[in-house]
Amino acid sequence: MTTDSPRSPHPESARERSDSDLSPSGRGEETALVLFSGGQDSTVCLAWALQRFARVETVGFAYGQRHAVELTVRPRLREMITALDPAWAARLGADHVVDMAGLAAISETALTRDVAIEVAQSGLPTTFVPGRNLLFFCYAGAIAYRRGARHIVAGMCETDFSGYPDCRDDTIKAMQLALNLGMERRFVIHTPLMWIDKAATFALAHQIGGDAFVDLLVEHTHTCYLGDRSQWHPWGYGCGECPACQLRAQGFAKWQQARTSALAAP
């Protein structure tokens, strides 16, 4: 792992690295830590990392979320994703789960309390948990420091998203700088979904793992804010009404339409 010089505290931006730098052939012995919730986006990010790094570890967070079912699907997802590719099975390393129950105790949000999902007076949805992603990165940085991982991979996106300020690219860059200054390391935070919508996320999943990987996303990941796994939809399980479900339903329909049009083209 490369250590920052005290005279050069500026972190290397993930967006400055070329695709060839992250290709399997140039993977070397570098390790990545993936923020893996058990949802569709983080599962795509896990597969993305498994394509690029010699060793990949995962971290999940138990913060008192209403949709804690996402934590229960994680172990099975890790098993199933390695079955898709023997090389992925060889690269997938340890899983870490961090207890952040204190966050729910200080949060008054629709993800940590039984309150309505709506737009608050602040203009942000009540599903926004202040400080959540910032804490995620702090804990991930501490684990990456201990485990010798230079790369941190996360599924934040600021295209078709719920408007959370801690998902914005500027926030991620600031966190990367803070981690590198505060830990005297040269971490690189990768957000492969930052500039693509949910339709393009499904397209990326298909590009990485084909129909089998898309089927895994639909059948076995969990993203619904209400934790509903009683209702199946073509895009996955969920209530079908919360913002997370709506974004994925729209993205899946758009991706399917694009696929149909491409197949029909002469």
The Cα–Cα gap between 73 and 40 comes to 11
Question: Over the chain, what is the mean pLDDT?
Answer: 87
Which span out of 24-28, 62-66, 68-72, 94-98 was modeled with the highest average pLDDT?
A: 94-98
C-alpha torsion sign, points 13, 15, 19, 24 = positive
pLDDT at residue 10, as a whole number? 38
Rg (CA), the chain: 18
Instruction: Taking residues 17-35, report their average pLDDT.
Output: 63
Helix (H), strand (E) at residue 45: helix 40-52
CB 261 within 8 A of CB 199: no
Q: Where residue 139 falls among pLDDT bands split at 50, 70, 90?
A: very high
Residue 266 has pLDDT above 70, yes or no: yes
Higher-scoring residue by pLDDT: 110, 222: 222
Instruction: Taking residues 59-76, report their average pLDDT.
Output: 91
pLDDT at residue 255, as a whole number? 97
pLDDT at residue 127, as a whole number? 83
Judged by average pLDDT, the poorest of 86-95, 126-135, 181-190 is 126-135
The Cα–Cα gap between 183 and 15 comes to 21
Instruction: Taking residues 139-151, report their average pLDDT.
Output: 98
pLDDT at residue 86, as a whole number? 97
In order of their start, the domains of the chain are 29-264 (3.40.50.620)
Q: What is the phi/psi pair of residue 232, to 5°? A: -100, 140
In the chain, the amino acid numbered 41 is D
Higher-scoring residue by pLDDT: 94, 65: 94
Judged by phi (left if over 0) then psi (alpha if -120 to 50, else beta), residue 163 lies in left
Give the predicted TM-score (pTM) of the model. Answer: 0.87
